[in-house]
């Protein structure tokens, strides 16, 4: 919760100003100013990629504050797993994914109409706070004796890691392919892994527990994060309102503070 504090503080201030302006027309790109954040009410469930955990939790709290009567519940996990659940008719109202590919499976299945990219993430190497083996660059990961942990290849961060390696002509043999990015992070935090490929947002969220090794822009891969309301949602109005909120300056500020870049 400590990590979420700066975000909560930031948007608490923003929310106050938003509430303060009585005829508040929230400018959301691409959507008409709705007279009703007041028409948003009731509960929604947001399925979001693990890497969105800290930022979306903060956005959810702010959304609830800005729209009294609403309740946002999150289901964080690997985007691919969430996509499978949604296509199996899991009760989701909104889907925020860490890859266009997984979002496409959802739209192709007809569970969502169309998606909008709301954030961009890049990769970073996470190393333990007191490392046993020094890791200073991407090339170090190919050294023998370095325990590298990445996400499983069907998971967006795993696909990104694989792309990272092929793009830079590196042969890296990981010791484990975890099921989501937070599991990779925990292996690094526990000191079991010497290096893990995670998102920059994860490194930022982990604070002092890990030491991040920046990947230069020319070596790095970017991942687009799309968001979409689910067609079968029982609370379409609130779902759409949440999507709009994420895309609004308020939401974007939170995401930027977390380390995302704007689309």
Partner 1 sequence: MTRRDRSSAAPPWPVALPAALSLLFLGLPLLALLIKAPWGRLWSILTSPTSLQALRLSLETASAATVLAFIVGVPLAWVLARAEFPGRRLARALVTVPLVLPPVVGGIALLLAFGRRGIVGQYLDSCCGITLPFTTAGVVVAEAFVAMPFLVITVEGALRGLDTRFEDAAATLGASRLGVFRRVTLPLILPSLAAGGVLTFARALGEFGATITFAGNLPGVTQTLPLAVYVGLEGDPSEAVALSLVLLAVSVIVLVALRDKWLRAGAAS
Per CB under 8 A, contacts with partner 1 among 153-172 are 153-155
Query: Stretches 12-20, 23-31, 58-66, 175-183: which one binds partner 1 (CB under 8 A)?
Result: 175-183
Smallest separation, CB 28 to partner 1 (Å): 32
Interaction between residue 98 and partner 1 (CB under 8 A): no
Question: Any contact of residue 81 with partner 1 (CB under 8 A)?
Answer: yes
Q: How many angstroms separate the CA atoms of 14 and 12, rounded?
A: 5
The interaxial angle of helices 249-258 and 53-66, nearest 10 deg, is: 150
| 187 forms part of the interface with partner 1 (CB under 8 A) | yes
> Among 175, 207, 222, 262, which residue sits at the site for partner 1 (rule: CB under 8 A)?
175
Residue 60 interacts with partner 1 (CB under 8 A)?
no
Please report how close the Cβ of residue 184 comes to partner 1 at its closest, in angstroms.
10
Whichever of 70 and 79 has its CB closer to partner 1, that residue is 79
Helix boundaries (H) for 67-210:
79-87, 100-108, 156-167, 181-189, 200-206
DSSP 3-state assignment of 129? coil
Tokens of 152: 């499983």
Q: Does 208 bind partner 1 (CB under 8 A)?
A: no
25 binds partner 1 (CB under 8 A): no
Q: Which of 152, 136, 147 is nearest to 211 (CA)?
A: 136
Per CB under 8 A, 176 contacts partner 1: yes
Residues 6+ apart with CB under 8 A from 39: 237, 241
Q: 226 near 121, Cβ under 8 Å?
A: no
Instruction: Quote the Cα angle for 160-75-157, to 5°.
Output: 5
CA atoms lying within 13 Å on the CB side of residue 215: 29
Minimum distance, C-beta of residue 230 to partner 1, in the bound complex (Å) = 19
| List 132, 136, 169, 171, residue binding partner 1 (CB under 8 A) | 132
- Smallest distance, partner 1 to C-beta of residue 175, A: 4
Interaction site with partner 1 (CB under 8 A):
78, 80-81, 84, 132, 147, 149, 152-155, 174-179, 187, 190-192
């Amino acid at each position: 919760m400590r990590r979420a504090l700066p975000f909560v503080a930031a948007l608490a201030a923003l929310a106050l100003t938003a509430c303060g302006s009585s005829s508040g027309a929230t400018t959301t790109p691409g959507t008409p100013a709705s007279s009703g954040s007041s028409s948003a009410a009731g509960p929604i469930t947001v399925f979001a990629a693990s890497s969105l955990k800290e930022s979306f939790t903060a956005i959810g709290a702010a959304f609830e504050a800005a729209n009294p009567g609403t309740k946002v519940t999150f289901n964080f996990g690997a985007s691919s797993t969430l996509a499978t659940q949604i296509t199996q008719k899991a009760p989701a109202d909104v889907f925020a994914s860490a890859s266009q590919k997984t979002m496409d499976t959802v739209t192709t299945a007809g569970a969502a109409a169309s998606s909008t990219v709301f954030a961009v993430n890049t990769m970073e190497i996470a190393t333990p706070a007191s490392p046993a083996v020094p890791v200073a660059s991407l090339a170090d990961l190919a050294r023998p004796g370095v325990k590298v942990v990445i996400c499983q290849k069907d998971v967006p961060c795993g696909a990104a890691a694989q792309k990272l390696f092929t793009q830079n002509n590196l042969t890296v043999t990981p010791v484990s392919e975890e099921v989501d990015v937070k599991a990779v992070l925990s292996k690094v935090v526990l000191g079991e892994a010497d290096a893990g490929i995670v998102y920059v947002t994860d490194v930022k969220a982990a604070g002092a527990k890990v030491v991040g090794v920046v990947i230069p822009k020319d070596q790095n891969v970017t991942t687009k994060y799309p968001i979409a309301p689910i067609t079968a949602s029982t609370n379409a109005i609130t779902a759409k309102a949440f999507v709009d909120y994420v895309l609004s300056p308020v939401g974007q500020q939170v995401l930027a503070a977390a380390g995302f870049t704007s689309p």
